[in-house]
């Protein structure tokens, strides 16, 4: 899925990517052997959604490497649409699930997750010094998926029947996350295949927990899923396109030189204003897509 005739490391499957694929296969095998069919479908849907979104993100980024305003617009629409869908999906599907177990503890968990995401994001510079094959976003998505998978596995016995609504809930936040994260990894020259780890993490956590079926409580589930939701919300907000000098969108437009004449400054200012309009519109459009998908199932 991630390989290509090109030799770019962003397109090759890394050892971590293969490990993620192997982890997913093992979880699917265990789910089938234990007849945990709902967990198998949920884990497979999450994996395909994120991996598919990552593949689309890598292809989109590879096709728009020319630079200039057009490239910046495409990046703003890619990040904005994905972030808008992620924020909307978080508000519509993840937050209600977190607080359903315990409103106060779930709320504290969400806050803790946002702070945890911020800590990982702030540590991005230190992580770069370690020359790791993944970035803070990949770590955040993996943490979110593992925590969510833990709760899904723990409440497996009381889960409702599978249906299109659950599919929309999973796809509407997994696919955009994979898409946006893949674009960022590709732009940084990193292997996009590392996203197979967070893609597999839901199944990797949910299936063993569902197999063991440990005792749990609403308070624990609210805290764990709240943290998962908060981490994901931080990721979603982090992908909102920021059209300022020094950001990814401005770099894509070629606006990286702080030493400009008055005329050049005015031109850059007007370009950034146009890009901000695209950023806001795309984020709103991403949210509308999720709403329309949900509304279509309930109309």
Q: Is residue 2 within 8 Å of 13, Cβ to Cβ?
A: yes
Of residues 34, 21, 52, the one with CA closest to residue 204: 21
What was the pLDDT predicted at 62? 81
* pLDDT score for 156: 78
| Residues of the chain with confidence (pLDDT) below 70 | 1-11, 65-67, 125, 127-133, 157-158, 160, 215, 246, 253-267, 299
Domain boundaries, the chain: 15-298
| Pure H helices in 34-163 | 37-62, 69-89, 95-101, 103-122, 124-129, 136-154
Listed residue (287, 275, 211) closest to 29, CA to CA: 211
Predicted pLDDT of residue 4: 44
Distance between CA atoms of residues 59 and 47, nearest Å: 18
Asked whether 225 and 147 are in contact (CB, 8 A), the reply is yes
pLDDT, position 7:
43
CA–CA distance, 108 with 18 (Å, rounded to integer): 36
Q: What is the pLDDT of residue 16?
A: 92
pLDDT in tens, 181-193: 999 999 888 889 9
């Amino acid at each position: 899925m991630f390989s290509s005739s090109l030799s770019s490391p962003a397109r090759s499957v890394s050892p971590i990517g293969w490990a993620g694929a192997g982890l997913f296969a093992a979880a699917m095998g265990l789910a089938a052997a234990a007849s945990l069919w709902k967990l198998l479908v949920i884990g497979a849907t999450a994996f395909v959604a994120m991996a598919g979104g990552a593949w689309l993100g890598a292809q989109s980024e590879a096709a728009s490497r020319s630079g200039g305003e057009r490239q910046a617009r495409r990046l703003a629409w890619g990040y904005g649409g994905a972030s808008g869908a992620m924020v909307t999906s978080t508000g519509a599907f993840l937050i209600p699930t977190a607080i359903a177990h315990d409103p106060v503890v779930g709320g504290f968990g969400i806050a803790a997750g946002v702070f945890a995401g911020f800590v990982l994001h702030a540590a991005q510079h230190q992580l770069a010094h370690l020359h790791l094959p993944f970035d803070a976003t990949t770590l955040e998505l993996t943490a979110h998926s593992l925590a969510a998978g833990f709760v899904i596995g723990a409440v497996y016995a009381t889960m409702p029947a599978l249906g299109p609504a659950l599919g929309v809930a999973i796809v509407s936040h997994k696919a955009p996350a994979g898409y946006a994260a893949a674009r960022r990894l590709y732009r940084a020259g990193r292997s996009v295949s590392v996203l197979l780890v967070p893609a597999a993490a839901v199944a990797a956590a949910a299936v063993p927990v569902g197999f063991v079926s440990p005792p749990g409580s609403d308070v624990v589930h609210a805290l764990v899923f709240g943290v998962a939701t908060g981490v994901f919300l931080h990721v979603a907000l982090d992908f909102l396109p920021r059209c300022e000098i020094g950001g990814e969108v401005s770099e894509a437009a070629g606006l990286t030189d702080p030493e400009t004449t008055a005329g050049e400054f005015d031109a850059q200012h007007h370009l950034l204003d146009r890009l901000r309009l695209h950023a806001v519109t795309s984020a709103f459009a991403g949210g509308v897509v999720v709403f329309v998908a949900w509304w279509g199932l309930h109309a």
